[in-house]
Amino acid sequence: MATVSPTSKRAAFESISKSAIYKSKDEFYRMYNPPELWPAEKELSVSPSKTICRRVVLLFLILMVPVGSFSQSNQRNANPNDIAERIVGAAMTRGGAISFLEALTDTVGGRVTGSPESQAAAELILKALRDAGFDNAHFEEFSMSPTWRRGPASAWVVNQVKQSPVKQSLFIGSYGWSPGTQGRVEVPLVTVTATADGKLSKNPASLSGAAVLVTIEMGASANTFAADYVVMRSRTARQLASAGAVAMLIPSEKPDRMLYTSGAGIYPRAPLPMLSVAKEDTLYLRRLLAKGDVHIALDVQNTFDESQAKERNVIADLPGSSPENVVLVGAHFDSWDPAQGADDNGSGVAAVLEAARVLKSLNVKTKATIRFAFFSGEEQACLGSRAYIATHKNELDHLWAAIIMDNGALRPTGFSLHGRDDLEAALKQRLSPMSPFGAANILTGGDLYSDDETFVVAGVPSLSLEVVPSDYDNRHHTIIDTFDKIDPQALDLDTAALALASYYIANADQPLGRRLSSQEVDRLLKKTGQSEYVDLDFSTAEKQH
Ligand SMILES: [Zn+2]
């Protein structure tokens, strides 16, 4: 899922030309990593040949390390700087993350939860772990229902064509787990504004039988924009359905006529067809409405399968000397289907997988076990990570931390703590060796983006990898979330950041902090403004522990 709001993280990049999203890899790199945000690492945006030279030098330096010092890594607490150098060196020189991502995106592609592609992705990840020597790598199965299949979705303006051969098609696309229309329908188009106080600008009776183009007003007090937006969108859908509306048309915030898809706040079934409408088409419809009544035709053919489907998380352990204690590093492998799910969240999967391979190959030893977790079903209300919590409920007091990556393959800056101020000092101490690497910044903010939500609800110390601002939101859940947009060096840096952070946290003598009680979690979610968002998906029973 990652960021779910339109325009939530783009402020620093407003001036970037929209056409820039079709430029070369080097130009992408400069765009996503502008020098003013990364002066110390400017050299990484040089030409590929210079990068290769730099890598060769780095590799040479690594190979110059005496063989004897490698064997020292077998002992816990061997020179931590030495281990860190080798972790970063391996992450930055092997190219393992980007090559796995290419296999995931080009041989499997988009991976909707419950689909054959999702099954294939789980098998690809398991094989990669086994090939890397993780004999304990395994599936953890869970059930889900219903599954959903996207069908064709078309829309066009009908009152323009009555006396004319002209047919004005509209760019629309379904939200996930949204029902279709019952065949082709021709309905009036009306607009409505949903305000932050939960009200609609029109009498519900006027919405019956209509396609409703919505404006969601966030209100000035919204301080957790993404969560508040999803809560409002979900509430508005329920209001429109109970008013008898035929479909909810949600203007896309994406550039270049791109559509958005999501299942946030509507799994297991949206209460009515929820359709993304391209920004350009929204403007066109508003121009028509300003001149008079508008009727549109809709034909959306999504289907549900109510039978129980099986999904699988993939888990592998690097055992520690106190193996009952665990530091989890995870990412979700399911994705949306309009594209390849390359950045959301193929990049997270590739970075976690490569972090696992790096730590395994260097024979790194830690006190706590480092557990690599690849979750399915994140886009459907964190199904996989919630299944993990249910399966491992008796071990959660010993889960020292859950580290999640789901913010895209961009230069890492540090980790967010989702409101857990009490963990800040300990995390700062653990990550201090990462300061020169540039990924030791700690944010105590509360926004929940991904499977981090599951671990926060369970009271477990939960960290999310934070990255530099970018145009990630433009690509997120759209047709251009494809492999070519991923910067390999940024992905390597993410890999190194995950490997280092898990190493430092797992090799400490003490847990990062304690697990919160249900009451403390409740207070935390209220403090950080995430309560309503969590309540969309999590049952009361799940919040009790
Ligand atoms: Zn995601």
Residue 328: phi, psi to the nearest 5? -95, 135
Q: How confident is the model at residue 76 (pLDDT cuts 50, 70, 90)?
A: low
Are 320 and 400 in a shared domain?
yes
Are 277 and 346 in a shared domain?
no
434-474 pLDDT per residue, tens: 999 999 999 998 899 899 999 999 999 999 999 999 999 99
pLDDT(249) > 70: yes
CATH of the domain at 335: 3.40.630.10
Distance 271 CA to ligand 1 centre (A): 23
pTM score, whole prediction: 0.86
Q: How confident is the model at residue 409 (pLDDT cuts 50, 70, 90)?
A: very high
CATH of the domain at 260: 3.50.30.30
CA separation (Å) from 309 to 30, 305, 454? 43, 9, 21
Distance 344 CA to ligand 1 centre (A): 5
pLDDT(313) > 70: yes
Looking at the DSSP bridge assignments, the partners of residue 189 are: 211
Residue 52 in domain: yes
Distance 260 CA to ligand 1 centre (A): 14
388-400 pLDDT per residue, tens: 999 999 999 999 9
Distance 147 CA to ligand 1 centre (A): 19
Distance 116 CA to ligand 1 centre (A): 19
CB atoms within 10 A of CB 266: 24
Distance 59 CA to ligand 1 centre (A): 33
- Tell me which residue has tokens 């053919």: 301
Number of residues in the chain? 545
Residue 287: phi, psi to the nearest 5? -65, -40
Distance 91 CA to ligand 1 centre (A): 22
Residue 126 in domain: yes
Mean pLDDT of 171-186: 97
Residue 47 in domain: yes
Are 379 and 469 in a shared domain?
yes
Rounded CA separation 382/396 (Å)? 17
Q: How confident is the model at residue 161 (pLDDT cuts 50, 70, 90)?
A: low
Distance 2 CA to ligand 1 centre (A): 4
Are 320 and 429 in a shared domain?
yes
Number of folded domains that form the chain? 2
Residue 107 in domain: yes
Residue 528 in domain: no
pLDDT(239) > 70: yes
Distance 379 CA to ligand 1 centre (A): 7
Looking at the DSSP bridge assignments, the partners of residue 186 are: 297
| Cis peptide upstream of residue 488 (ω within 30 degrees of 0) | no
Residue 521 in domain: no
Distance 377 CA to ligand 1 centre (A): 10
Distance 332 CA to ligand 1 centre (A): 7
Q: What is the pLDDT of residue 458?
A: 98
pLDDT(56) > 50: no
pLDDT(377) > 70: yes
Distance 426 CA to ligand 1 centre (A): 27
What percent of the chain is modeled with pLDDT above 70?
Answer: 83
Distance 43 CA to ligand 1 centre (A): 30
Rounded CA separation 486/471 (Å)? 12
Distance 172 CA to ligand 1 centre (A): 22
Distance 331 CA to ligand 1 centre (A): 8
Contact predicate 175/250, CB 8 Å? yes
Distance 308 CA to ligand 1 centre (A): 24
Lowest mean pLDDT among 63-72, 337-346, 413-422: 63-72
pLDDT(406) > 60: yes
| Signed CA dihedral, 419, 422, 424, 426: sign only | negative
Q: How confident is the model at residue 1 (pLDDT cuts 50, 70, 90)?
A: low
Are 372 and 508 in a shared domain?
yes
pLDDT(275) > 50: yes
pLDDT(10) > 60: no
Of 80 and 452, the structure prediction assigns the larger pLDDT to 452
Are 502 and 412 in a shared domain?
yes
Q: What is the pLDDT of residue 225?
A: 65
Are 480 and 332 in a shared domain?
yes
Distance 450 CA to ligand 1 centre (A): 6
Residue 540 in domain: no
Distance 451 CA to ligand 1 centre (A): 8
Are 156 and 231 in a shared domain?
yes
Domain boundary among 305, 331, 358: 305
Q: What is the pLDDT of residue 228?
A: 87
Are 94 and 155 in a shared domain?
no
Domain boundary among 256, 279, 305: 305
Distance 78 CA to ligand 1 centre (A): 36
What would the 3-class secondary structure string for 461-495 be? CEEEEEECCCCHHHHCCCCCCCHHHCCHHHHHHHH
Average per-residue pLDDT for the chain? 87
Distance 378 CA to ligand 1 centre (A): 7
Q: What is the pLDDT of residue 159?
A: 80
Domain boundary among 305, 323, 353: 305
Distance 115 CA to ligand 1 centre (A): 17
Are 97 and 81 in a shared domain?
yes
Distance 336 CA to ligand 1 centre (A): 9
Residue 8 in domain: no
Rounded CA separation 221/153 (Å)? 36
Q: Where do the DSSP E strands lie in 417-471?
A: 441-443, 462-467
Q: What is the pLDDT of residue 160?
A: 61
What's the burial of 215, exposed, middle or buried (CB within 10 Å: 0-12/13-18/19+)? middle
CB atoms within 10 A of CB 79: 12
Are 510 and 428 in a shared domain?
yes
Distance 345 CA to ligand 1 centre (A): 5
Residue 154 sits in which domain range? 148-305
Of 514 and 1, the structure prediction assigns the larger pLDDT to 514
Q: What is the pLDDT of residue 196?
A: 87
pLDDT(106) > 80: yes
Distance 384 CA to ligand 1 centre (A): 12
Are 301 and 330 in a shared domain?
no
Distance 472 CA to ligand 1 centre (A): 12
Mean pLDDT of 365-389: 98
pLDDT(61) > 50: no
Distance 1 CA to ligand 1 centre (A): 3
